[in-house]
Amino acid sequence: MSRKVRDYPANSWQPPFCIWPERQVPPSTVKRIITVTNLIKPHGSDSLNPLFVEDSNARAQLAKDAKALTSVTISSAAAGNAVMLAGGYFTPLNGYMNKANAMSVGASMQTTEGLFWPTPVLNLVADATSIQAGDKIALKDPNVEGQPVLAVQNVESVETFSDAEIETLAQQVFGTTDRDHPGVAEFVAQGNTAIAGPIEVLNYSYFEKDFPDTFRTAVQIREEIAALGWKRIVAFQTRNPMHRAHEELCHMAMDRLNADGLVIHMLLGKLKPGDIPASVRDSAIRKMIELYFPPNSALVNGYGFDMLYAGPREALLHALFRQNMGATHFIIGRDHAGVGDYYEPFEAQEIFDSLPDGALEIELFKADHTAYSKKLNKVVMMREAPDHTKEDFILLSGTAVREMLSEGKAPPVEFSRPEVAQILMDHYRT
């Protein structure tokens, strides 16, 4: 499939992303499609393990029963874990980890049973004195007004981490214990007590309501991919708007991998202060796809999770749940999932080289820093232009771009598509 032509006349455009009217897919349908099309296997399983209660009657009864249960308002991080478990992204897990599994994952990126997993999946609280093993409890959503019940948990254990153990986990997962690191700050603020056990999830928090055209579960994305007949699928992670370099990086990956399609998969949960809101990113990315990608070559979807900013460990997690959603290849670029200067530029790529065989089936597309070459009049990976000097590239810092946008000035067309820049300028002005 040729993707050499980048500019499409407005009157010839067809929707390249898919909006599916039926959001809930019968499990039997999903299994049939996945079996027939031979999609990549989910992580550690032959089939997805979504923990959302699909049957509406059972869900209504569970919601009714939850009113009589002891309730706990969980952290935003734990709520994000529940949403990811609900959608099958965290297959094959069936709930929150206990202390032994969390410490094992921190130390070796394996559960106590030997399953590869890069980051602990925990329900940490500050106080669980009223809860004990064997209880069934209602987990309340901190991110929705009125704090409705998000999930019901069967408690298998209630265990407390020492402060030293929390510090150890932070160092292992984030590579630092510095409280100025936004991921560390969020992690240590949740509390030291882990409530472990399987969960049944009643809803997808605010994500379905706030992002009806974008939020998709791993089950739904697999169905979309299967319906399109794609076999080789490239996934691109983003928490930011996509500029020319990101756009061309996706084209490069699709061309070089001979991919059937691309899934631009954006994070819809909480970010650090100053990051672009998900709704603005969504509009900007859709405009870019509309104008600069071949029709029906890309899906624009999102997932309900808060950013960890855990660099290399988070890159592994990103790859794992992209395998679960059906992607065969995953783009990892410079400073993936990083923040500040906490990680080396390509540390998130290098960590994959140390994985044991079979840890993940999804393959990487390792990307260098991309920039517009004034010599070649196109975006290139800088390592592939050895005859260039720094002056041969158009390089802008994120700070410089934000300043331009906030002043109503569009970045150079070599850096950002004008239509995308206009959406961002509108955001900054308001």
Nearest-angstrom CA–CA distance, 384 and 189: 44
Q: Put residue 333 in one of left, alpha, beta given phi > 0 → left and psi -120 to 50 → alpha.
A: beta
Q: Which residue matches tokens 């079996």?
A: 35
What are the contacts of 207-214 at 24+ separation with CB within 8 A? 207/83, 207/268, 207/269, 207/302, 207/304, 208/23, 210/268, 210/278, 210/279, 211/268, 211/278, 211/279, 211/282, 211/302, 213/19, 213/282, 214/266, 214/268, 214/282, 214/300, 214/301, 214/302
Nearest-angstrom CA–CA distance, 38 and 245: 33
At the topology level of CATH, where does 10-21+212-429 sit?
A: Rossmann fold (3.40.50)
Q: Spell out the residues 6+ positions from residue 50 whose beta carbon is closer than 8 angstroms to its own.
A: 85, 86, 87, 88, 91, 217, 218, 219
Question: What does the chain come to in residues?
Answer: 430
- CA atoms within a 13 Å half-sphere pointing along the CA-CB vector of 197: 20
Nearest-angstrom CA–CA distance, 311 and 199: 28
Whether 334 is a known active-site residue: answer no
Give the pairing type, strands 233-238 and 136-140.
unpaired
Domain ranges of the chain: 10-21+212-429, 56-208
Nearest-angstrom CA–CA distance, 46 and 68: 36
Task: Kindly name the residue from 94, 154, 192, 240 that is annotated as catalytic.
Answer: 240
Q: Spell out the residues 6+ positions from residue 256 whose beta carbon is closer than 8 angstroms to its own.
A: 365
Q: How far is CA 371 from the centre of its chain?
A: 24
Token duo for residue 312:
């290399």
What CATH number does the domain located at 56-208 have? Answer: 3.10.400.10
Whether 240 is a known active-site residue: answer yes
DSSP 429: H
> Looking at residue 403, what is its pLDDT?
86
The rounded average pLDDT for each run of 10 residues, N- to C-terminus, in the chain (430 residues) is 34 31 35 54 97 98 98 98 98 98 98 98 97 98 98 98 98 98 97 98 97 97 96 95 92 97 96 84 95 95 96 98 98 94 96 95 95 93 92 84 87 92 91
Enclosing H/E stretch for 103:
helix 99-108
Give the pairing type, strands 149-154 and 363-366.
unpaired
Q: What angle do CA 269, 139, 210 make, to 5 degrees?
A: 30
- Using a 10 angstrom Cβ sphere, with 0-12 exposed, 13-18 middle and 19 or more buried, the burial of residue 68 is exposed
Token duo for residue 173:
């997962």
Q: Spell out the residues 6+ positions from residue 372 whose beta carbon is closer than 8 angstroms to its own.
A: 244, 245, 378, 379, 380, 393, 394, 412, 414, 415
Task: Kindly name the residue from 57, 239, 258, 334 that is annotated as catalytic.
Answer: 239
At residue 299, φ and ψ (nearest 5 deg) are -105, 140
> Looking at residue 299, what is its pLDDT?
97
Beta-bridged to residue 194, according to DSSP, are 124, 159
Concatenated DSSP letters for 170-228? Answer: HHHHHS---TTSHHHHHHHHS-SEEEEEEEEE---TTHHHH-TTTB--HHHHHHHHHHH
Q: What is the 3-state secondary structure (H, E, C) of 136-182?
A: EEEEECCCCCCCCEEEEEECCEEEECCHHHHHHHHHHHHCCCCCCCH
Nearest-angstrom CA–CA distance, 76 and 143: 7
